[in-house]
Amino acid sequence: MRSWPRPRRRDRGGMAIEAAIIAPAVVALVLLAVAAGRVQTAAGTVEAAARAAARTASLQRSVDGMTEPAERTARDTLSQQGVVCRDSHVRVSTAPLDLPGGAVTAVKVVVECDVELAGLIGGPSGLPVTKHLVGEFTSVVDRYRGT
């Protein structure tokens, strides 16, 4: 009669210990990837808000009346996409652009938004970790907008 080698008793439970060590690291990497994706999405939304605000400002009839509609458009775009800014600023400025046909007036809008990372990933609010996002866009003033 042939005897087979018996398995060692010392190796029992080794797989469970390995899984207990590796599983939290894998979960942390997945959560980090989700957080990075959400930050990228929020940054794209801030860029879109700057683009929409610059276009709105460029369609206004006077330079004095550009700021309020641009701010409202930027805030509306951010809220429609679900981006909540803890602190936000919208700056509107006009500047001439030197183009081959001559100087053309343009409107530059800069949207700054401090986003809480906990709000982006759906975690508990109140965490002190924030990301400062900046979006800017320049739109040429429509010369046929009516003055």
Q: Where are the domains of the chain?
A: 13-140
User: CA–CA separation, 119 vs 95, rounded Å?
Assistant: 36
pTM of the predicted model as reported, rounded to 2 decimal places:
0.74
Structure confidence at residue 69 as a pLDDT band (50, 70, 90)? very high
pLDDT score, position 8: 60
Q: Give the model confidence (pLDDT) of 25-58 as tens digits.
A: 998 888 888 888 888 999 999 999 999 999 999 8
- Does residue 18 or residue 42 have the better pLDDT? 42
The model's confidence at residue 95, banded by pLDDT at 50, 70 and 90, is: confident
**Residue in the block written with tokens 């990372």:** 117
- What is the per-residue pLDDT across 117-126, written as a single tens digit (0 to 9) for each? 776 566 655 5
What whole-number distance in Å separates Cα of residue 138 and Cα of residue 50?
A: 9
Q: In whole angstroms, give the CA distance from residue 113 to residue 71.
A: 12
pLDDT at 18 over 70: yes
Q: What would the DSSP string read from start to end of 43-94?
A: HHHHHHHHHHHHHHHHTSSSSTTSHHHHHHHHHHHHHHTT--EEEEEEEEEE
User: What is the pLDDT at residue 9?
Assistant: 61
147 pLDDT above the threshold of 80? no
